[in-house]
Amino acid sequence: MSARTFAGLSKAMALGLLRDRTAVFFMLLFPLMFLVLLGALLKNESTPRAEIVQIGRVEVFDSLPRETREGLEDFLSIERSGDREKALEEVRAGDVDAVVWQEGDDVRLRYSAADPARAGNVQAIVNSVVQQANIAATGQPPAYELTTARVEDESLKVIQFLTPGMLGWAVSMSAIMGSALTLVNWRKKRILRRLWLAPVNAGSVIGARVGVSVALALVQTLVFVGVASIPFYGLELSGDWWLSLPLVVCGTLAFMSIGLVIGAWAKTEEAANGVSQLVVLPMAFLSGSFFPLDNAPAWVRAASDVLPLTYLTEAMQDVLSRGQSWGAALPTMGGLLLFAAVLTAVAARLFRWDDA
């Protein structure tokens, strides 16, 4: 009877979800649309070239060998001009990044602080050119030399980082909102009351909802990975990419537990939807699903460290794109399951069959 009840509840929830076109759109198509659009827009994304205006002759640039100048053009676009004031106005207006000119042995650079990242990029490049010129002028080679290289394969693309983040966001949104709204809706329509009178316990109801959410999350994973792997986007999977599947299952259970707490507490669908949005959207932004948090304020990174989506996204990146295996997946899986167990216990205490 328990297995038959579980199967019946699972089927009813799955059919109810599929018949709700709005739910299907927001749980599957909406996040997939973000992956498709952002993947296309950022397909050839690279570090933008800094644009500077050179006034008159600047020895450190004009004396560069042709090979060096050609290599510098990958990072720096130099436009020549004889009007310094006009060039400074262009910097203030944000049309160019900086103005450079030379007075005697003094190379002067003027930039705008409106975009600190681009300003820092310009300063670093120009400073590097000046230091190279100093070395050439003195004839003394540097005592130390820095050799840099990427830790990832040179073929690594933005889609490698975008796919795990978008997928984690989709899974969290589906699990939290799906479980919360289902419980509130069933309680409001007195479906739970009918189940209460039937030989069904709370574990069967929650278990059926979990099964449907896990199945949906696995479908989302296969769809996201399949779309990102087509040649246009070029997702290159690492050898143990399949570990993303158990990671998604554990993540779904963690996010389900959040939804169950919300669904057990909220009395109306509007309240459940509002609280779910307040949880999902900030968590997605603070976990780095949409953009990296390397340069974020300390308080943002501290908040990110307590969010389950942060760990799911990082572990998914490790196994999908960075070639890591069980060592990256197991700790995250264990943490997500522990999180799910704690919040499920809270949801069980708050669970009620009827609003009366």
- Examine the pLDDT at 300 and tell me if it is beyond 50: yes
Which residues contact residue 45 at a Cβ distance below 8 angstroms, ignoring those fewer than 6 apart? 158
Q: Which of 8-22, 28-42, 301-315 has the highest mean pLDDT?
A: 301-315
pLDDT over 80 (residue 82): yes
> Which residues are 100's β-sheet partners?
54, 109
Q: What is the pLDDT of residue 84?
A: 87
pLDDT of the residue at 149 = 41
Residue 254: pLDDT band by 50, 70, 90 thresholds? Answer: very high
- Region 299-319: mean pLDDT is 90
Other CB atoms within a 10 A radius of the CB of residue 285 amount to: 16
Instruction: Give the span between the Cα atoms of 210 and 323, in whole angstroms.
Output: 30
Question: What local confidence, expressed as pLDDT, does residue 74 receive?
Answer: 67
The tens digit of pLDDT for each residue in 144-201 reads 444 444 444 444 567 888 889 889 999 999 899 888 888 888 788 877 777 666 666 6
Q: Which band of pLDDT confidence, cut at 50, 70 and 90, is reported for residue 258?
A: very high
Residue 223, judged by CB atoms within 10 A of its CB (0-12, 13-18, 19+), counts as middle
- Say how far apart CA 72 and CA 353 lie, in whole Å: 68
Strand order in the sheet with 76-81: 76-81, 50-55, 98-103, 106-111
Look at residue 20 in the predicted model and tell me its pLDDT. 66
Q: What is the CA radius of gyration of the chain?
A: 27
Q: Which of 20-34, 37-51, 153-167, 268-282 has the lowest mean pLDDT?
A: 37-51
- Grade residue 260 by pLDDT with cuts at 50, 70 and 90: confident
DSSP state of 96: S
3, 153 contact by CB (below 8 A):
no
The DSSP element (H or E) to which 78 belongs, if any, is: strand 76-81
pLDDT score recorded for residue 295:
67
Most confident stretch, 11-25, 30-44, 71-85? 71-85
> What is the pTM assigned to this prediction?
0.67
Q: Which one is predicted more confidently, 30 or 44?
A: 30
Q: What is the DSSP string of 301-342?
A: HHHHTT-HHHHHHHHHHHHHTS---HHHHHHHHHHHHHHHHH
Residue 109: the pLDDT is: 85
Segment 249-263 shows an average pLDDT of 93
- Percent of the chain whose pLDDT exceeds 90: 17
Number of H helices, E strands in the chain: 15, 4
Q: How many residues does the chain have?
A: 356
Instruction: Write the pLDDT tens digit of every residue in 278-297.
Output: 899 889 888 888 777 766 77
Which helix (H) or strand (E) segment holds residue 50: the answer is: strand 50-55
State whether the Cα torsion 200-202-207-209 is positive or negative. Answer: positive
